[in-house]
Structure 1
Amino acid sequence: MNPKILLVEDDADFGMILKQYLELSDFEVIWFQNPEDVLEIIETQFDFQIGILDVMMPNIDGFSLAKHLLKKQANFPILFLTAKNQKIDRLTGLKLGADDYISKPCDPEELVLRIQNILKRSTFTAIQQTEIKIGSYLLNTEKLQLEHPKGKHKLTLKENELLLFLLNHNHQLLKREVILENLWENTDYFSGRSLDVFISRLRKYFADDDSIKIMSIRGVGFELDFPE
């Protein structure tokens, strides 16, 4: 079965072009021009593998729509389309838990590659059914959940992927470029800012155990210390 994409793009011409190209690339595409229609359908149907959302839309912008989608499925992969290169757009999306972003007008081939990479990570996470003890925490990679006696944190796919990568390199000094090349496949400024956002979020999740440390080494990367 072909992966099913939720495409939300209010520009009729651009939306049609994307839909046709993605269908030629063996995706099933459900396209909405009006984000309010999406809110109606997800109440009874949520069988998409990934969402591609335009940021600038009338009535409901892409960020607001993403919040609704993530309430329905906390680990739902989202890729934002933005016509602007402003940092505020990209950082807002990353803080929401977005997996990627791409600026319009975008290269359709690049878009397909990014979608494929996100879906690969999603599939990899979905097939794992292990529980990993991290200090006083328990990471459930099947549920994408970090559990602690004081509470639980639902992880996004990217958070889970980053945490597993860090665990696999415990007690090591990891260069920023190594993490970016492996998980973001890009070492540009915005990818670096994305990494910082996710590192900051993981630190907050582990705030209830002082034995867990993700230390920043200025100009180099991160030194990791997870109890074993």
Structure 2
Amino acid sequence: MSKILYVEDEIFLARIVNDTLQSRGFEVAMEHDGGMALQRFEQFKPDVCVLDIMLPNKDGFTIADEIREKDSDIPIIFLTAKSEVKDVVNGFKIGGNDYIRKPFSMEELIVRIENVLKQNNTPEIASDELTMGSYQFNIRRQQLIGGGDDRKLSYRESELLKLLYENRDKIVERRDILNLLWGSDSFFNSRNLDVYITKLRNYFKQDPSIEIITIKGIGYRFVVS
């Protein structure tokens, strides 16, 4: 059973979310006071934190920053009524894994919780040097060798390829890619992602065993046969 620390000061909303999460099999520790959140985190030892941003005594960003000092890996999802891009960017800089704007549906929240838990359980790549078909990808150097080329990747190309490889043979949702690598799933960023996917496909075109498959309306699957 996955454990969720849920910090929210809107009492009516908090009860609905808490009851729904528990009915779906999650164990929930609910806190209304931002000033008490870190103490609850240390006592409860959750698997994921869901933090409202506007809270009494201590805001969600400050709480996340304190949690990151204790645990650099635990997934953090922010909830907020704010919609400014700078707030979204700030959340990801602090170390947030996802960001949901109010009002939201419970199904959306549950899917996002499941996604960050799944990503957090993905085994880490043990080596800087990865073999992908007839290609070699050096993560640290951002270098892709194969198909007659020795190609230096941009930072975002490298991070996108690493993300797809870590989740190979699984569907990676567009929204998750955009939030993780660009900080938001805006239309402009979505078009940028299309460009980067096309670039990666072109880099691997000499090896037909490597595919980046589009799952229409959902995301991508990286396959090495």
TM-score w.r.t. the length of structure 2 is: 0.63
Unaligned stretches of 5+ residues in structure 2: 130-137, 142-158, 185-191, 204-225
Q: Which residue of 2 aligns with 1:221?
A: 196
TM-score w.r.t. the length of structure 1 is: 0.62
Shift of 1:74: 0.3
Map Cα deviations across residues 62-119 of structure 1 (whole Å, 9 max, x no partner). 0110001111000110000011222122111111221111111210011111111111
Q: Which residue of 2 aligns with 1:164?
A: 162
Letter of the structure 1 residue corresponding to residue 89 of structure 2 = L
Q: Which residue of 2 aligns with 1:186?
A: 175
Alignment equivalent of 1:95, drawn from 83, 93, 96: 93
Shift of 1:121: 1.3
Alignment equivalent of 1:131, drawn from 117, 122, 126: 126
Distance in 2, Cα, partners of 1:218 & 1:29: 35
Map Cα deviations across residues 34-54 of structure 1 (whole Å, 9 max, x no partner). 1211223445x3521000000
Q: Which residue of 2 aligns with 1:204?
A: none
Do the aligned residues in 2 keep the contact of 1:85 with 1:103 (CA within 8 Å)?
A: yes
Distance in 1, Cα, partners of 2:172 & 2:57: 34
Do the aligned residues in 2 keep the contact of 1:8 with 1:52 (CA within 8 Å)?
A: yes
Q: Which residue of 2 aligns with 1:147?
A: none
The structure-2 alpha-carbon separation of the partners of 1:182 and 1:90, relative to structure 1 and needing over 3 Å to count, comes to: farther
Q: Which residue of 2 aligns with 1:196?
A: 182
Counterpart check, 1:118 vs 2:121: no
Shift of 1:163: 6.1
Q: Which residue of 2 aligns with 1:153?
A: none
State the Cα RMSD in Å.
3.3
SS of 1:59 mapped into structure 2: coil
Distance in 2, Cα, partners of 1:27 & 1:117: 14
Distance in 2, Cα, partners of 1:30 & 1:163: 36
The structure-2 alpha-carbon separation of the partners of 1:26 and 1:185, relative to structure 1 and needing over 3 Å to count, comes to: farther
After superposition, where does 1:1-228 map in structure 2 within 5 Å? Answer: 2-43=1-42, 45=43, 47-125=45-123, 128=124, 131-134=126-129, 137=140, 162=160, 164-165=162-163, 183-186=172-175, 192=178, 194-196=180-182, 220-221=195-196
The structure-2 alpha-carbon separation of the partners of 1:162 and 1:98, relative to structure 1 and needing over 3 Å to count, comes to: farther
The structure-2 alpha-carbon separation of the partners of 1:136 and 1:62, relative to structure 1 and needing over 3 Å to count, comes to: closer
Distance in 1, Cα, partners of 2:179 & 2:16: 31
Distance in 1, Cα, partners of 2:20 & 2:193: 43
The structure-2 alpha-carbon separation of the partners of 1:219 and 1:106, relative to structure 1 and needing over 3 Å to count, comes to: closer
Distance in 1, Cα, partners of 2:162 & 2:196: 17
Distance in 2, Cα, partners of 1:113 & 1:166: 19
Shift of 1:60: 0.9
Distance in 2, Cα, partners of 1:36 & 1:164: 37
SS of 2:109 mapped into structure 1: helix
